[in-house]
Structure 1
Amino acid sequence: MSSGLGSRSAGGGDQMALAAEQGRICALAAKGQRDLAERAAAYPDLFPARPFDPALFGNVAMAIAFGAPWADLDQLRVMNRAVLWGFAVDWLVDHEARTRAEIDRLTENCLAVADGGRPAADDSLGRFLAELHDELAAVPAYATHGVVWRNELRTMLDAMAREWDWKQDAAAGVLPTLDEYLANAPNLACTVVNVVHWIHSDDAATLAHLDALVAASDQVQRILRLVNDLASYERDKRWGDLNALMLVPERADVERRISDLVAYARELLDGLHTTCPVQADYLARQIGFSTGFYRSTDFWGVV
């Protein structure tokens, strides 16, 4: 209680400066939301109004803006669009695909685009991905580090397909273990977006430590997977999705695992603070923002 009162009693100037900074970040989010709404409107078959409602665009843009408030609008725009594309894949795989063959075809088409191929005219997912690929490939760092993005994209697509398989098995009462589920956390599409950000930033210090940043991001991704699940359990049950709470006897088991993962993440991020402090802060802010955000809501709109 005393710490809360202390923050309220801070000087008026401090509060105005804090509010001004928060207002600046919210303005970045507002601009990002408008851009996402425009991209969604360009692909209406890919982004149906339910569940891709305006709040989803706002939530994505807000998460990215608060995660990297020092980034410029171009950097934020690329990250926002990469997240939105990931949501589209998630929707198609989790809720639209009826056979594994459809998912395999989707994966093959996306990887072809990631390799520089041109998508079919009726492939909205591929055309949106081609936009992202072309913008990323225009950055000098892509020549050397583009393979990292391509590998992470493959990992994400494979993870989404694996969860689709698990959902079919769940109908027969067969579920993955919590460890297996966490190993499949790339289906959250967090690290692949972070890699887009780091390559697009074209920052020498960041790129010199890209492998370490990806390893730390994977740890953060596992945390976000579980934090997300604590918030979305009821929705996941309605939608027929898997959730970590379905794999353990008690909610406390997931909460304990989050605590362990956070402790290890702190060690990784402490080490990165000496070599690339901005990106270490970026990953730490992802944990902090998501922990606060998921206490009362999640990203998806109503179906």
Structure 2
Amino acid sequence: MNDLFAPRIAADPSGWNPHLAAVLADLATTDAVIAAQLSKWAHGWGAPFSLGSVPLSAVYATHVAPWNPPEVTLMTAKTILWIATVDDWAERDDAAPRGLDHLQEVAEGKAPDPHSALAGALADIRDTVLGAASSRRRGSLWVKATTALLAGMKFEHVASAQIRDGGPPPALPLYLHHAGQTIGVPLTMATLWASAPQPACDSSLARLQPPLESASQAIRMANDLQSYERERRTGDLNAIALGASPAYLRTQIADQVRHCLEQLRPLLTHPCPDAQALHYCLHFVLRLHQAGDAGHLHEREQQQQEH
């Protein structure tokens, strides 16, 4: 995947750029502030939230839309952390299907189970995002993305259980359809788009759906390419385990990236933060996957130390 984007920028003191230095300093400061606030939020909910996922969630939210006000960045970070937490829980808990059904009800407006940290946190995110949404259309997009993510997680949980019981695996296209949601990019973007007041871009929301789908598929395939060995050990669904070759995934990633950028180009010719955020997201998350199994990089470092 290293050839998808330009090579990483090497440090070069002779090319000192004061403006870039100021931007990087602002990003680092925002990262630190958001991480502290997110840590407090996660600690307040308790298990199954893990403080170990806080730093990456804060960095992700800060870099996807660095122009956003702090409250929007924090809400985006909460969403990213919540997605990662639900994903881990849904893969491990036998009662996940019933819990995922309840979370769908919460996303659609039902009161959360007071004994469920995941439901309570989702209700908190829901009320804040929908309360801040600059239009009903943006709020509806958030509800749709949340329910699609949860339906995808239920599909993956049930399919994995069936395989363990000796049943047939799902077809690759069906898996990728749901996995494009469970990778979390559609909900992350929906939260950001709903939370940030930018009514000038409302007419572009429909045009953003095709590049969003392409970006989500590219990022899902990059994830599966890097996480195959870990997911093979844990028995989780993965595109390679379902028959896709690494070469096929690399070709598809390149195609989906090209499709996304082609579809975004007309929207980037005039100021549209919605499109710019998706462009940033595509680059940031794929860069993250170039480094390895995103979200589990600490496990790789630990394994290297042990050997």
- TM-score scaled by length of structure 2: 0.85
Q: CA RMSD in A?
A: 2.6
The corresponding residue for 2:275 is 280
The corresponding residue for 1:175 is 169
2:31 to 29, 32, 39: 29
**Alignment-mate amino acid for residue 75 of structure 2:** V
1:111-260 aligned at under 5 Å gives the runs 111-139=104-132, 141-171=134-164, 172=166, 174-184=168-178, 185-248=180-243, 250-260=245-255
Q: Deviations over 1:18-48 (max 9, x none)?
A: 233222112211112112211121122221x
The corresponding residue for 1:299 is 295
1:45-56 aligned at under 5 Å gives the runs 45-47=47-49, 52-54=50-52, 56=53
CA distance in 1 between partners of 2:104 and 2:145 (Å) = 11
Q: Deviations over 1:47-67 (max 9, x none)?
A: 1xxxx343x211111122111
CA distance in 2 between partners of 1:165 and 1:111 (Å) = 16
**Alignment-mate amino acid for residue 192 of structure 1:** L
The corresponding residue for 2:256 is 261
Shift of 1:113: 2.3
**Bigger mean CA offset, 108-117 vs 155-164:** 108-117
Change (3 A) 1:238 1:4: closer
Q: Deviations over 1:175-231 (max 9, x none)?
A: 333322221110112111211111111211222222222332222111111111222
Shift of 1:86: 1.1
The corresponding residue for 2:79 is 82
**Bigger mean CA offset, 275-284 vs 259-268:** 275-284
Change (3 A) 1:18 1:91: same
Q: Is the 8 A contact 2:145 2:186 kept in 1?
A: yes
CA distance in 2 between partners of 1:251 and 1:137 (Å) = 40
User: Secondary structure of the equivalent of 1:156?
Assistant: helix
Q: Is the 8 A contact 2:211 2:259 kept in 1?
A: no
Q: Which structure is richer in relative contact order (CA contacts within 8 A, separation 6 or more)?
A: 1
- Percent identity between the two aligned chains: 22
Shift of 1:261: 0.8
Shift of 1:291: 2.0
CA distance in 1 between partners of 2:267 and 2:186 (Å) = 16
Question: Structure 1: which 5+ residue stretches go unaligned?
Answer: none
Q: Deviations over 1:233-261 (max 9, x none)?
A: 22212322112222335311110111111
1:68 to 41, 65, 68: 65
**Alignment-mate amino acid for residue 79 of structure 1:** T
Q: Is the 8 A contact 2:42 2:51 kept in 1?
A: no
- TM-score scaled by length of structure 1: 0.86
User: Secondary structure of the equivalent of 1:69?
Assistant: coil
Q: Is the 8 A contact 1:199 1:207 kept in 2?
A: no
CA distance in 1 between partners of 2:148 and 2:244 (Å) = 29
**Runs of 4+ in structure 1 over 3 Å off:** 3-13, 142-145, 274-277, 300-303
CA distance in 2 between partners of 1:271 and 1:44 (Å) = 44
**Bigger mean CA offset, 277-286 vs 179-188:** 277-286
Shift of 1:4: 7.6
1:109 to 76, 84, 102: 102
